[in-house]
Chain A
Amino acid sequence: MKRVVSISLGSSKRDHQVQVELLGEQFEISRLGVNGDFEEAVAKLKQLDGQVDAIGLGGIDVYVYAGDRRYAFKDGLRLMGAVKSTPVVDGSGLKNTLERETVTFLLQNTDIIKKGTRVLMVSAVDRFGMAEAFAAAECDVTFGDLIFTAGIPYPIKTLQELKEMAAKLLPEMTQLPFHMLYPTGEKQESRDEEKAQKFAPYYYDAEIIAGDFHFIKRYLPDKLNGQTIITNTTTAADVEFLRQNGAGRLVTTTPVFEGRSFGTNVIEGVLVVLLGKPSSEITPEDYLDIINKLDFRPKIIELDN
Protein backbone atom coordinates (compact mmCIF):
# COMPACT_ATOMS: atom_id res chain seq x y z
CA MET A 1 0.00 0.00 0.00
CA LYS A 2 1.40 3.37 -1.04
CA ARG A 3 0.65 6.33 1.23
CA VAL A 4 0.24 9.88 -0.01
CA VAL A 5 -0.53 12.57 2.54
CA SER A 6 -1.47 16.16 1.90
CA ILE A 7 -0.67 18.65 4.63
CA SER A 8 -2.90 21.66 4.13
CA LEU A 9 -2.85 25.08 5.73
CA GLY A 10 -6.61 24.97 5.34
CA SER A 11 -9.32 23.92 7.73
CA SER A 12 -9.23 20.48 9.36
CA LYS A 13 -12.99 20.30 8.69
CA ARG A 14 -12.10 19.21 5.17
CA ASP A 15 -9.91 16.29 6.26
CA HIS A 16 -10.51 13.14 4.30
CA GLN A 17 -9.01 9.73 3.63
CA VAL A 18 -9.68 7.29 0.82
CA GLN A 19 -8.22 4.08 -0.56
CA VAL A 20 -8.04 3.64 -4.31
CA GLU A 21 -6.39 1.36 -6.81
CA LEU A 22 -4.57 3.09 -9.64
CA LEU A 23 -2.73 1.16 -12.36
CA GLY A 24 -2.76 -1.91 -10.13
CA GLU A 25 -1.26 -0.11 -7.15
CA GLN A 26 -3.19 0.35 -3.90
CA PHE A 27 -3.09 3.89 -2.50
CA GLU A 28 -4.15 5.36 0.80
CA ILE A 29 -4.65 9.07 0.18
CA SER A 30 -5.30 11.43 3.04
CA ARG A 31 -5.55 15.13 3.67
CA LEU A 32 -4.72 16.79 7.00
CA GLY A 33 -5.59 20.45 7.59
CA VAL A 34 -3.76 22.48 10.23
CA ASN A 35 -6.25 25.38 10.41
CA GLY A 36 -3.72 27.95 9.23
CA ASP A 37 -1.15 27.01 11.88
CA PHE A 38 2.11 27.26 9.96
CA GLU A 39 4.30 25.78 12.70
CA GLU A 40 2.00 22.81 13.07
CA ALA A 41 2.32 22.23 9.33
CA VAL A 42 6.13 22.25 9.64
CA ALA A 43 5.96 19.81 12.55
CA LYS A 44 3.63 17.42 10.70
CA LEU A 45 5.82 17.52 7.60
CA LYS A 46 8.91 16.64 9.64
CA GLN A 47 6.97 13.83 11.30
CA LEU A 48 5.84 12.36 7.95
CA ASP A 49 9.19 12.74 6.23
CA GLY A 50 10.52 9.26 5.41
CA GLN A 51 7.31 7.61 6.64
CA VAL A 52 5.11 7.99 3.55
CA ASP A 53 5.60 7.67 -0.21
CA ALA A 54 4.78 11.25 -1.19
CA ILE A 55 3.67 14.45 0.50
CA GLY A 56 1.49 17.16 -1.00
CA LEU A 57 1.40 20.74 0.23
CA GLY A 58 -2.15 22.07 0.25
CA GLY A 59 -3.68 25.46 0.93
CA ILE A 60 -0.48 27.08 -0.24
CA ASP A 61 1.43 27.49 -3.47
CA VAL A 62 5.15 27.04 -3.53
CA TYR A 63 5.51 28.02 -7.17
CA VAL A 64 3.39 30.25 -9.39
CA TYR A 65 4.04 31.03 -13.03
CA ALA A 66 3.57 33.83 -15.52
CA GLY A 67 4.94 33.08 -18.96
CA ASP A 68 8.39 31.57 -18.71
CA ARG A 69 9.02 32.93 -15.23
CA ARG A 70 8.52 31.02 -12.04
CA TYR A 71 8.06 32.72 -8.68
CA ALA A 72 8.46 30.96 -5.34
CA PHE A 73 6.60 31.83 -2.16
CA LYS A 74 8.94 32.13 0.80
CA ASP A 75 6.45 30.38 3.09
CA GLY A 76 5.99 27.59 0.58
CA LEU A 77 9.72 27.02 0.28
CA ARG A 78 9.97 26.88 4.06
CA LEU A 79 7.36 24.12 4.19
CA MET A 80 9.04 22.25 1.36
CA GLY A 81 12.38 22.60 3.14
CA ALA A 82 10.99 20.79 6.18
CA VAL A 83 10.90 17.56 4.15
CA LYS A 84 14.27 15.99 3.47
CA SER A 85 13.72 12.53 2.02
CA THR A 86 10.12 11.98 0.88
CA PRO A 87 9.07 13.48 -2.49
CA VAL A 88 7.10 16.66 -1.77
CA VAL A 89 4.97 18.51 -4.32
CA ASP A 90 2.62 21.50 -4.36
CA GLY A 91 0.56 20.57 -7.42
CA SER A 92 2.02 23.25 -9.66
CA GLY A 93 3.66 20.70 -11.95
CA LEU A 94 0.40 18.93 -12.54
CA LYS A 95 -1.67 22.09 -12.86
CA ASN A 96 0.37 23.08 -15.86
CA THR A 97 -0.62 19.90 -17.68
CA LEU A 98 -3.88 18.54 -16.24
CA GLU A 99 -5.72 21.85 -16.11
CA ARG A 100 -4.54 22.90 -19.54
CA GLU A 101 -5.89 19.56 -20.79
CA THR A 102 -9.19 20.15 -19.00
CA VAL A 103 -9.84 23.29 -21.03
CA THR A 104 -8.80 21.56 -24.25
CA PHE A 105 -11.07 18.59 -23.44
CA LEU A 106 -14.07 20.84 -22.77
CA LEU A 107 -13.37 22.84 -25.92
CA GLN A 108 -13.18 19.75 -28.13
CA ASN A 109 -15.86 17.59 -26.54
CA THR A 110 -18.53 19.88 -25.11
CA ASP A 111 -20.21 23.21 -25.78
CA ILE A 112 -19.16 24.58 -22.38
CA ILE A 113 -16.21 26.46 -23.86
CA LYS A 114 -16.40 28.30 -27.17
CA LYS A 115 -14.67 31.22 -28.78
CA GLY A 116 -15.82 34.35 -26.96
CA THR A 117 -17.03 32.57 -23.81
CA ARG A 118 -16.75 34.98 -20.89
CA VAL A 119 -14.44 33.45 -18.30
CA LEU A 120 -13.51 34.79 -14.89
CA MET A 121 -10.32 33.20 -13.58
CA VAL A 122 -10.28 34.25 -9.95
CA SER A 123 -6.51 33.87 -10.01
CA ALA A 124 -4.34 32.91 -12.93
CA VAL A 125 -0.71 32.86 -11.79
CA ASP A 126 -1.44 29.73 -9.76
CA ARG A 127 -2.98 28.12 -12.88
CA PHE A 128 -1.08 29.62 -15.75
CA GLY A 129 -1.57 26.53 -17.92
CA MET A 130 -5.33 26.91 -17.65
CA ALA A 131 -5.04 30.66 -18.32
CA GLU A 132 -3.06 30.02 -21.49
CA ALA A 133 -5.55 27.38 -22.61
CA PHE A 134 -8.51 29.77 -22.21
CA ALA A 135 -6.61 32.45 -24.11
CA ALA A 136 -5.71 29.97 -26.86
CA ALA A 137 -9.40 29.05 -27.11
CA GLU A 138 -10.07 32.77 -27.75
CA CYS A 139 -12.28 33.08 -24.71
CA ASP A 140 -12.99 36.54 -23.29
CA VAL A 141 -11.00 36.04 -20.10
CA THR A 142 -10.82 38.25 -17.03
CA PHE A 143 -7.84 37.41 -14.85
CA GLY A 144 -8.87 38.33 -11.31
CA ASP A 145 -5.49 38.14 -9.62
CA LEU A 146 -5.46 41.77 -8.53
CA ILE A 147 -9.15 41.77 -7.67
CA PHE A 148 -9.22 38.76 -5.39
CA THR A 149 -5.65 38.71 -4.08
CA ALA A 150 -5.08 42.42 -3.47
CA GLY A 151 -8.65 43.75 -3.46
CA ILE A 152 -7.95 46.02 -6.45
CA PRO A 153 -10.91 46.32 -8.83
CA TYR A 154 -8.77 46.05 -11.94
CA PRO A 155 -9.52 43.20 -14.35
CA ILE A 156 -6.47 42.02 -16.26
CA LYS A 157 -7.56 41.13 -19.77
CA THR A 158 -4.48 39.76 -21.52
CA LEU A 159 -1.76 37.26 -20.75
CA GLN A 160 0.82 39.91 -21.64
CA GLU A 161 -0.51 42.29 -18.99
CA LEU A 162 -0.67 39.44 -16.50
CA LYS A 163 3.00 38.67 -17.15
CA GLU A 164 3.96 42.34 -16.81
CA MET A 165 2.08 42.68 -13.53
CA ALA A 166 3.58 39.46 -12.24
CA ALA A 167 7.11 40.64 -13.04
CA LYS A 168 6.52 43.86 -11.13
CA LEU A 169 4.73 42.41 -8.14
CA LEU A 170 5.53 38.79 -7.54
CA PRO A 171 9.26 38.94 -6.74
CA GLU A 172 8.32 40.94 -3.63
CA MET A 173 4.78 39.80 -2.90
CA THR A 174 5.93 36.18 -2.68
CA GLN A 175 8.09 37.20 0.29
CA LEU A 176 5.03 38.22 2.32
CA PRO A 177 3.34 35.76 4.67
CA PHE A 178 1.10 33.61 2.47
CA HIS A 179 -1.98 34.29 4.61
CA MET A 180 -1.84 37.95 3.57
CA LEU A 181 -2.58 36.97 -0.02
CA TYR A 182 -4.71 33.85 0.26
CA PRO A 183 -7.47 32.66 2.60
CA THR A 184 -6.04 30.08 4.98
CA GLY A 185 -7.46 28.36 8.08
CA GLU A 186 -10.82 29.69 9.27
CA LYS A 187 -11.00 32.22 6.44
CA GLN A 188 -11.73 29.25 4.18
CA GLU A 189 -14.94 28.66 6.07
CA SER A 190 -16.37 32.14 5.75
CA ARG A 191 -17.32 34.56 3.02
CA ASP A 192 -15.82 38.04 2.78
CA GLU A 193 -19.18 39.81 2.67
CA GLU A 194 -17.86 43.24 1.70
CA LYS A 195 -15.73 42.03 -1.18
CA ALA A 196 -18.31 39.47 -2.29
CA GLN A 197 -20.74 42.35 -2.78
CA LYS A 198 -18.17 44.72 -4.26
CA PHE A 199 -16.83 42.24 -6.79
CA ALA A 200 -20.13 40.46 -7.57
CA PRO A 201 -20.40 42.00 -11.08
CA TYR A 202 -17.31 40.08 -12.17
CA TYR A 203 -19.02 36.83 -11.15
CA TYR A 204 -22.38 37.73 -12.67
CA ASP A 205 -20.85 38.80 -15.96
CA ALA A 206 -18.99 35.52 -16.43
CA GLU A 207 -20.31 32.35 -18.04
CA ILE A 208 -17.47 30.34 -16.53
CA ILE A 209 -15.81 30.93 -13.17
CA ALA A 210 -12.54 29.07 -12.93
CA GLY A 211 -9.62 28.67 -10.57
CA ASP A 212 -8.91 28.12 -6.92
CA PHE A 213 -12.02 26.95 -5.09
CA HIS A 214 -11.25 28.80 -1.86
CA PHE A 215 -11.09 32.10 -3.75
CA ILE A 216 -14.27 31.25 -5.64
CA LYS A 217 -16.10 30.38 -2.43
CA ARG A 218 -14.82 33.29 -0.33
CA TYR A 219 -16.04 35.93 -2.78
CA LEU A 220 -19.09 34.16 -4.18
CA PRO A 221 -22.02 36.60 -4.39
CA ASP A 222 -25.52 35.86 -3.15
CA LYS A 223 -26.96 34.12 -6.15
CA LEU A 224 -25.27 33.08 -9.36
CA ASN A 225 -27.25 32.71 -12.55
CA GLY A 226 -26.25 29.29 -13.82
CA GLN A 227 -22.51 29.76 -14.30
CA THR A 228 -20.18 26.84 -14.84
CA ILE A 229 -17.53 26.48 -12.13
CA ILE A 230 -14.23 24.86 -13.13
CA THR A 231 -12.15 24.00 -10.08
CA ASN A 232 -11.13 21.18 -7.75
CA THR A 233 -10.80 20.33 -4.04
CA THR A 234 -14.55 20.22 -3.76
CA THR A 235 -16.36 18.11 -1.18
CA ALA A 236 -19.92 16.80 -1.41
CA ALA A 237 -20.93 19.76 0.81
CA ASP A 238 -19.25 22.17 -1.61
CA VAL A 239 -21.22 20.71 -4.50
CA GLU A 240 -24.41 21.31 -2.53
CA PHE A 241 -23.22 24.82 -1.61
CA LEU A 242 -22.70 25.66 -5.29
CA ARG A 243 -26.08 24.19 -6.18
CA GLN A 244 -27.78 26.30 -3.48
CA ASN A 245 -25.98 29.39 -4.71
CA GLY A 246 -27.15 29.12 -8.28
CA ALA A 247 -24.20 27.57 -10.08
CA GLY A 248 -25.37 25.64 -13.12
CA ARG A 249 -22.56 23.16 -13.50
CA LEU A 250 -19.40 22.04 -11.77
CA VAL A 251 -16.39 20.76 -13.65
CA THR A 252 -13.66 19.26 -11.51
CA THR A 253 -10.19 19.03 -12.98
CA THR A 254 -8.96 16.29 -10.67
CA PRO A 255 -10.61 12.86 -10.34
CA VAL A 256 -13.34 12.38 -7.76
CA PHE A 257 -12.73 9.71 -5.12
CA GLU A 258 -15.65 8.95 -2.77
CA GLY A 259 -17.39 12.22 -3.66
CA ARG A 260 -14.31 14.29 -3.13
CA SER A 261 -12.18 16.02 -5.75
CA PHE A 262 -8.74 16.22 -4.17
CA GLY A 263 -6.31 19.07 -4.71
CA THR A 264 -3.74 18.91 -7.47
CA ASN A 265 -1.01 18.56 -4.83
CA VAL A 266 -2.48 15.22 -3.74
CA ILE A 267 -2.90 13.92 -7.27
CA GLU A 268 0.59 15.11 -8.21
CA GLY A 269 1.88 13.17 -5.19
CA VAL A 270 0.12 10.03 -6.47
CA LEU A 271 1.54 10.49 -9.96
CA VAL A 272 5.05 11.02 -8.62
CA VAL A 273 4.75 7.66 -6.82
CA LEU A 274 3.47 5.96 -9.97
CA LEU A 275 6.18 7.50 -12.14
CA GLY A 276 8.83 6.40 -9.66
CA LYS A 277 11.31 9.17 -10.29
CA PRO A 278 12.26 12.39 -8.52
CA SER A 279 9.69 15.14 -9.10
CA SER A 280 12.45 17.45 -10.37
CA GLU A 281 13.06 15.03 -13.26
CA ILE A 282 9.41 14.65 -14.25
CA THR A 283 8.45 16.44 -17.45
CA PRO A 284 5.02 17.67 -18.59
CA GLU A 285 5.11 14.81 -21.12
CA ASP A 286 5.54 12.30 -18.27
CA TYR A 287 2.48 13.75 -16.57
CA LEU A 288 0.46 13.75 -19.80
CA ASP A 289 1.41 10.17 -20.52
CA ILE A 290 0.35 8.89 -17.13
CA ILE A 291 -2.80 11.03 -17.08
CA ASN A 292 -3.77 9.31 -20.33
CA LYS A 293 -2.94 5.87 -18.91
CA LEU A 294 -5.10 6.62 -15.89
CA ASP A 295 -7.81 8.01 -18.17
CA PHE A 296 -8.19 11.05 -15.94
CA ARG A 297 -10.84 13.26 -17.45
CA PRO A 298 -12.67 16.25 -16.07
CA LYS A 299 -15.83 15.32 -14.22
CA ILE A 300 -18.89 17.32 -15.21
CA ILE A 301 -21.68 17.61 -12.66
CA GLU A 302 -24.91 19.29 -13.74
CA LEU A 303 -26.39 21.19 -10.81
CA ASP A 304 -30.16 21.33 -11.15
CA ASN A 305 -31.50 24.39 -9.40
Chain B
Amino acid sequence: MATHEEISAGLQSFYEGYQKNSKLKLMNRDWNRVIRIIASDIDSQHTLTLQNGELTVTQGVSDQNPDLVVTSDSETLADLFYGDITPTEPYMNGTLVIQGSEDDIVRLDFISLMIWGE
Protein backbone atom coordinates (compact mmCIF):
# COMPACT_ATOMS: atom_id res chain seq x y z
CA MET B 1 0.00 0.00 0.00
CA ALA B 2 1.32 3.46 -0.91
CA THR B 3 0.64 6.63 1.05
CA HIS B 4 -1.16 9.78 -0.07
CA GLU B 5 2.24 11.51 -0.08
CA GLU B 6 3.67 8.87 -2.41
CA ILE B 7 0.80 9.32 -4.84
CA SER B 8 1.34 13.11 -4.64
CA ALA B 9 5.04 12.62 -5.36
CA GLY B 10 4.19 10.34 -8.29
CA LEU B 11 1.85 12.96 -9.69
CA GLN B 12 4.55 15.60 -9.27
CA SER B 13 6.88 13.39 -11.29
CA PHE B 14 4.16 12.98 -13.94
CA TYR B 15 3.67 16.76 -13.97
CA GLU B 16 7.41 17.39 -14.41
CA GLY B 17 7.52 14.86 -17.27
CA TYR B 18 4.62 16.68 -18.92
CA GLN B 19 6.21 20.11 -18.42
CA LYS B 20 9.42 19.01 -20.10
CA ASN B 21 7.59 17.82 -23.19
CA SER B 22 6.70 20.87 -25.28
CA LYS B 23 5.33 18.69 -28.07
CA LEU B 24 2.88 17.10 -25.67
CA LYS B 25 1.63 20.53 -24.58
CA LEU B 26 1.08 21.43 -28.22
CA MET B 27 -0.77 18.17 -28.84
CA ASN B 28 -3.12 18.74 -25.93
CA ARG B 29 -3.99 22.37 -26.54
CA ASP B 30 -7.48 21.34 -27.65
CA TRP B 31 -8.10 18.92 -24.78
CA ASN B 32 -9.53 20.73 -21.77
CA ARG B 33 -10.36 18.14 -19.14
CA VAL B 34 -10.71 17.66 -15.41
CA ILE B 35 -9.45 14.28 -14.23
CA ARG B 36 -10.13 13.02 -10.71
CA ILE B 37 -7.69 10.48 -9.25
CA ILE B 38 -9.08 8.36 -6.42
CA ALA B 39 -7.25 5.76 -4.36
CA SER B 40 -9.62 2.93 -3.46
CA ASP B 41 -7.77 1.70 -0.36
CA ILE B 42 -6.71 4.92 1.39
CA ASP B 43 -8.13 8.39 1.80
CA SER B 44 -6.44 10.08 -1.15
CA GLN B 45 -7.83 12.18 -3.97
CA HIS B 46 -6.14 14.43 -6.51
CA THR B 47 -7.28 16.45 -9.48
CA LEU B 48 -5.46 16.87 -12.78
CA THR B 49 -6.64 19.79 -14.87
CA LEU B 50 -5.68 20.28 -18.49
CA GLN B 51 -6.44 23.68 -19.95
CA ASN B 52 -5.05 24.93 -23.28
CA GLY B 53 -2.26 22.37 -23.09
CA GLU B 54 -1.21 23.36 -19.56
CA LEU B 55 -1.41 20.76 -16.80
CA THR B 56 -2.01 21.49 -13.13
CA VAL B 57 -2.11 19.00 -10.28
CA THR B 58 -3.95 19.72 -7.05
CA GLN B 59 -4.63 17.67 -3.95
CA GLY B 60 -8.23 16.92 -3.15
CA VAL B 61 -11.34 17.33 -5.25
CA SER B 62 -11.95 20.24 -7.60
CA ASP B 63 -15.28 22.12 -7.70
CA GLN B 64 -15.60 21.25 -11.36
CA ASN B 65 -17.26 18.04 -12.46
CA PRO B 66 -14.62 15.60 -13.67
CA ASP B 67 -14.59 14.41 -17.28
CA LEU B 68 -12.62 11.35 -16.24
CA VAL B 69 -12.46 9.52 -12.92
CA VAL B 70 -9.43 7.27 -12.42
CA THR B 71 -9.74 4.82 -9.54
CA SER B 72 -7.24 2.23 -8.37
CA ASP B 73 -5.41 1.03 -5.31
CA SER B 74 -2.77 3.39 -3.96
CA GLU B 75 0.17 1.20 -5.00
CA THR B 76 -0.97 1.03 -8.62
CA LEU B 77 -1.59 4.79 -8.73
CA ALA B 78 1.84 5.59 -7.31
CA ASP B 79 3.55 3.14 -9.70
CA LEU B 80 1.55 4.49 -12.61
CA PHE B 81 2.37 8.15 -12.10
CA TYR B 82 6.02 7.42 -11.33
CA GLY B 83 6.18 5.62 -14.69
CA ASP B 84 7.07 2.26 -13.16
CA ILE B 85 4.11 0.69 -14.92
CA THR B 86 2.03 1.66 -17.94
CA PRO B 87 -1.73 2.09 -17.60
CA THR B 88 -2.62 -0.50 -20.22
CA GLU B 89 -2.14 -3.68 -18.22
CA PRO B 90 -3.93 -2.56 -15.03
CA TYR B 91 -6.68 -1.04 -17.18
CA MET B 92 -7.13 -4.26 -19.10
CA ASN B 93 -7.11 -6.48 -16.00
CA GLY B 94 -9.53 -4.22 -14.14
CA THR B 95 -7.13 -3.03 -11.43
CA LEU B 96 -7.35 0.46 -12.88
CA VAL B 97 -10.88 1.70 -13.52
CA ILE B 98 -11.38 4.76 -15.70
CA GLN B 99 -14.83 6.29 -16.03
CA GLY B 100 -15.22 8.54 -19.02
CA SER B 101 -15.56 8.43 -22.76
CA GLU B 102 -13.50 5.89 -24.68
CA ASP B 103 -11.84 8.69 -26.66
CA ASP B 104 -10.75 10.39 -23.43
CA ILE B 105 -9.40 7.12 -22.02
CA VAL B 106 -7.27 6.61 -25.13
CA ARG B 107 -6.07 10.21 -24.84
CA LEU B 108 -5.04 9.80 -21.20
CA ASP B 109 -3.22 6.58 -22.07
CA PHE B 110 -1.50 8.47 -24.88
CA ILE B 111 -0.29 11.24 -22.53
CA SER B 112 1.08 8.71 -20.11
CA LEU B 113 2.94 6.86 -22.87
CA MET B 114 4.32 10.09 -24.30
CA ILE B 115 5.80 10.88 -20.89
CA TRP B 116 6.96 7.42 -19.90
CA GLY B 117 6.91 5.39 -23.13
CA GLU B 118 9.94 3.70 -24.63
| A binding-site residues for B, Cβ under 8 Å | 146, 150-154, 167-169, 171-173, 175-176, 180-181, 198
Contact = CB atoms under 8 A, between A and B. Distances in A.
B26 A167 contact: no
B118 A175 contact: no
A142 to B, nearest CB: 15
Given A152-B27, A168-B117, A172-B117, A180 B110 contact: no
Given A154-B27, A172-B88, A180 B102 contact: yes
Contact of B110 (A167, A169, A175, A198): A169
A167 B106 CA distance: 17
Main SS at interface, chain A: helix
Nearest to B112: A172
Nearest to A161: B23
Given A151-B103, A167-B118, A172 B109 contact: yes
Would you call the interface of chain B mostly helix, strand, loop, or mixed? helix
A176 B118 CA distance: 17
Contacts of A173: 88, 109-110, 113
Interface centre among A172, A173, A175, A198 (most CB of B within 10 A): A172
Contacts of B102: 180
18 contacts: A146-B110, A150-B107, A151-B103, A152-B107, A154-B23, A169-B113, A169-B114, A171-B117, A172-B86, A172-B87, A173-B113, A175-B88, A175-B89, A175-B92, A176-B88, A176-B106, A180-B106, A181-B106
